[in-house]
Structure 1
Amino acid sequence: MSRGEHHYAVKVVWTGNRGSGTSAYAAYGRQHLISAGSKPDIPGSSDPAFRGDADRWNPEDLVVAAASACHKLWYLHLCAEAGIAVMRYEDDAEGTMKEDANGGRFTSITLRPKVGVRPTDDVEKALALHHVAHEKCYVANSLNFPIVCEPEVQPVAAS
């Protein structure tokens, strides 16, 4: 694994001009496209509470998704190194954001990973590795609010 500085470039293009730009708060759409190189575009908007499109990803969804995905990637890495075979992994993550006079901010994210490991694997060790994954997660280390992890690990038959 290389160590050092890594750079990430994305492009966000607003596509919500309905003809009069931002002439009024209700006059424009919040739609945008997020792109990065040859990756598929992500259709974005604001949260529906802020006049956004519920069928598109909003920045708040993406923050929660980034925290969940980063934790998962570290967890899989650590399990592979520990000889624990993760057979399935899913996370029903949730974030809480509160509005205030300055706009708003996230107050927490809760990760709820449900992990299946081989019947011969050490379930207690597999649970403990969630703590290590949280300590190593780049996204969690970059955010200024708590991220709680409530993992479940169960043995499962190979599929």
Structure 2
Amino acid sequence: MNGEHQYRLRATWTGDRGTGTSGYRDYDRSVSLEVDGKPLVEASADTPFRGDGSKWNPEELLLGALSECHLLSYLYACVKTGVVVVSYRDDASGTLVEDGKGGGAFSDVLLRPQVVVADSSMIDAAVAAHRQAREWCFIANSVNFPVRHEPVVTAA
């Protein structure tokens, strides 16, 4: 699979309370994210940034993209090496550091995959597959902060 792939979505601000952005407290941070043929995602800013905490925020979406990309890359790496994964769960976390000037950036993300493989003879290869998944993950290769991994692999 070589080549260039284009992705598109529509982000629509849905937070006009009737006066637009007439003042910092006068508008809602609600956004809808749409991709043709897929369910609408209701999003907002995170609560500390005057958003709606019941909706997805950009920081959670980035963390989710990193976690899912590693998961999918990992499953492929396991198939390529004969490892049979029967369960995978990741308790991911990330740290955003504000710069004091209204901006900020993630300083790091930690993925904590908990993987169960079909047989104990597969554990070493299953652990090694995380390194390969890291090399293959498009999203992790696109960010400018470390994405660390603390995998735990056990047998069913």
Scaled by the length of structure 2, the TM-score of the pair is: 0.97
> Which consecutive aligned stretches of 4+ in structure 1 deviate over 2 angstroms post-superposition?
none
What does residue 123 of structure 1 align with?
Answer: 123
Take 2:73 and 2:42, find their aligned partners in 1: how far apart are those partners?
27
One-letter identity of the residue aligned with 1:148: R
Q: Secondary structure at the match of 1:138?
A: coil
SS in 2 for 1:90: strand
Matched, 1:60 2:49: no
Task: Name the Cα RMSD after superposition.
Answer: 0.9
Aligned residues: 155
Structure 2's unaligned 5+ residue stretches are none
> 1:104 is matched with which residue?
104
| CA distance in 2: counterparts of 1:62 and 1:120, whole angstroms | 34
- Residues 19 and 27 of structure 2 are in contact (CA less than 8 Å); yes or no, is this contact kept in structure 1? yes
In the other structure, the counterpart of 2:84 is 85
Counterpart of 1:137 in structure 2 is: 137
Structure 2 CA distance, aligned partners of 1:55 and 1:39?
A: 20
Residue 135 (structure 1) shift? 1.2
Following superposition of structure 1 onto structure 2, how do residues 36-47 of structure 1 map, counting pairs within 5 Å?
36-47=35-46
Question: What are the ranges of 5 or more consecutive residues in structure 1 without an aligned counterpart?
Answer: none
- Give the Å deviation of 1:121: 3.9
Shift of 1:45: 0.1
Residue identity opposite 1:131 in structure 2 = R
Identity of aligned residues (%): 45
SS across alignment from 2:20: coil
C-alpha deviations, 1:93-114, integer Å up to 9, x for none? 0010010025000100000000
Secondary structure at the aligned position of 1:73 is classed as helix
TM-score by length of 1: 0.95
The answer on whether the counterparts of 1:86 and 1:118 sit within 8 Å (CA) in structure 2 is yes
- Deviation by residue 1:104-154 (Cα, 9 ceiling, x = unmatched): 001000000000001254201100110110111100100000000000000
Secondary structure of 2:139's counterpart equals helix
